C-alpha cells in the first residue's frame, strides 16, 4: 500500500497536486480581485489604502499594522503617508510611549471608506448572485484554517 501511494505521488506532476492547485487558485483569485477592486475604488484610492481604512478600530501602531497586513514597515509607512496627506488618517504620538505613533481614521477617511464600500457594492452583489451564500460558508472554514496555519510562520 505504501509503495502504490508513493508511486501515485511520484507519477503526478507538481501542478496536478491539490495542495499546489489550491495555492495557485488563491494567487489567481488575489490578482483578479485586486484588479477588479482597484478599478472600482474611487480615484486615487488603492486596495492597500482601502484595507487600511477598513480597520475601523484605529489607534494601531505602524508596526502592528505592518504585521496585520504582512507588509514591511516601510511599505506601510508609505501607504500611511499617502492617507495622511489626503486627510484620511492622523498619525500622532502615543501618549504612553513617545517612541510610538498611532494611526487613527479621520471623519474624511471614514467618508472615503463608505464611498469605497458603495463603489465595491456591484462586485459583491454580482458575487452573491453568482454563488449562493452556502457556497461561501462551505469554503470559509478551510480558508480560515489555512490562513491561521500560514500566520504561524510569521
The string of pLDDT tens digits covering residues 78-123 is: 899 999 999 999 988 878 877 788 888 999 999 999 999 999 999 9
Average pLDDT, the chain: 87
**H helices within 41-132, ranges in order?**
47-53, 62-69, 73-85, 107-130
The pTM score is 0.75
Q: So what's the pLDDT on residue 60?
A: 83
d(CA 3, CA 26): 32
The string of pLDDT tens digits covering residues 58-78 is: 678 888 888 888 888 888 888
Amino acid at each position: 500500500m505504501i509503495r502504490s501511494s508513493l508511486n501515485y505521488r511520484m507519477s503526478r506532476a507538481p501542478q496536478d497536486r491539490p495542495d499546489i492547485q489550491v495555492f495557485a487558485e488563491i494567487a489567481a483569485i488575489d490578482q483578479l480581485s485586486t484588479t477588479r477592486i482597484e478599478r472600482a475604488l474611487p480615484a486615487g484610492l488603492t486596495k492597500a489604502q482601502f484595507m487600511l481604512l477598513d480597520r475601523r478600530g484605529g489607534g494601531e501602531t505602524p508596526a502592528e499594522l505592518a504585521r496585520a497586513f504582512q507588509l514591511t514597515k516601510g511599505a506601510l509607512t508609505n501607504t500611511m503617508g499617502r492617507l495622511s496627506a489626503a486627510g484620511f488618517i492622523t498619525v500622532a504620538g502615543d501618549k504612553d510611549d513617545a517612541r510610538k505613533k498611532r494611526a487613527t481614521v479621520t471623519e474624511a477617511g471614514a467618508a472615503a471608506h463608505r464611498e469605497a464600500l458603495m463603489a465595491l457594492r456591484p462586485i459583491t452583489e454580482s458575487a452573491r448572485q453568482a454563488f449562493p451564500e452556502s457556497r461561501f460558508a462551505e469554503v470559509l472554514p478551510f480558508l480560515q484554517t489555512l490562513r491561521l496555519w500560514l500566520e504561524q510562520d510569521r
